[in-house]
Amino acid sequence: MSAPMTTIVSKPGDLLEIVGTALGESGEHRISQEQINAFADVTGDHQWIHVDVDRAAQGPFGSTIVHGFFTLALVPLMLADILVVEETSMGVNYGLDKVRFVSPVKPDEVIRARATLLSASALRGGDGVQASARVTVERTADDSVCCVADIVFRYYN
């Protein structure tokens, strides 16, 4: 497995200076069928394409697939590999501007994320920065894209 390539900044305000920059690449993640089943239990989404291994083998993807929202839920975890703000009191996920599930992830495929900082602006009152990054989740086997999400987050001083 490859090691993350990380951008490290000292404080939230430093993000203002690196807008447009490729931030790096996360470590690798593998999602098992057991994790898919657990996600289905938590969310109540037991669609057969996710949890019925036998039926899904005969379906359009040839196997079960990871819930798109499970892949999306891993984005903050992978972004934490990619961007580190050292002097911050807290970071919060503020929302999403755009999400696309480009192609399904199958169980046990290895994925990683790459991110580019799209924007950054000081929060009113100067107590932190709101930033947006385009995070592209891809298969490590062939670099094919699974999910693209423009995630909005805040770092507070």
CATH number reported for the structural domain that contains residue 88 in this entry: 3.10.129.10
Assess whether pLDDT exceeds 90 at residue 11. Answer: yes
Q: How far apart are CA 152 and CA 157, in angstroms?
A: 17
The chain-wide mean pLDDT, for the chain, equals 96
Average pLDDT, stretch 65-73? 97
Q: Count other Cβ atoms within 10 Å, centred on residue 41.
A: 11
Structural domain includes residue 109: yes
* 107: helix, strand or coil: coil
Q: Whole-angstrom Cα distance, residue 52 to residue 44? A: 14
Residue 26 near residue 113 (C-beta atoms within 8 A): yes
Mean pLDDT of 136-140: 97
Number of domains, the chain = 1
Report yes or no on 2 lying in a domain. Answer: no
Torsional class of 146: left (φ above 0), alpha (ψ -120 to 50), beta (otherwise): alpha
Which distant-in-sequence residues (6+ apart) come within 8 Å of 1 by Cβ? Answer: 27, 28, 110
* In a domain? residue 92: yes
Parent domain of 118: 7-156
Average of pLDDT values for 101-117?
97
**pLDDT of residue 2 exceeding 80:** no
**What is the average per-residue pLDDT within 117-134?**
96
Q: What is the pLDDT of residue 1?
A: 56
pLDDT score for 8: 95
- The whole-angstrom separation of Cα 121 and Cα 156 is 12
Which pLDDT does position 4 carry in this prediction? 78
Q: Spell out the alpha helix ranges (H) of the chain.
A: 33-43, 48-51, 53-57, 68-73, 75-82
Residue 17 counted as domain residue: yes
The answer to the question of residue 61 being in a domain is yes
Q: Would residue 114 count as lying in a domain?
A: yes
Q: Mean pLDDT throughout 105-114?
A: 97
CB contact at 8 A, 157 and 11: yes
Check pLDDT > 90 for residue 126. Answer: no
Cβ–Cβ < 8 Å for 87, 118: no
Contacts of residue 13, defined as CB under 8 A and 6 or more positions apart, other chains included, come to 122, 129, 157
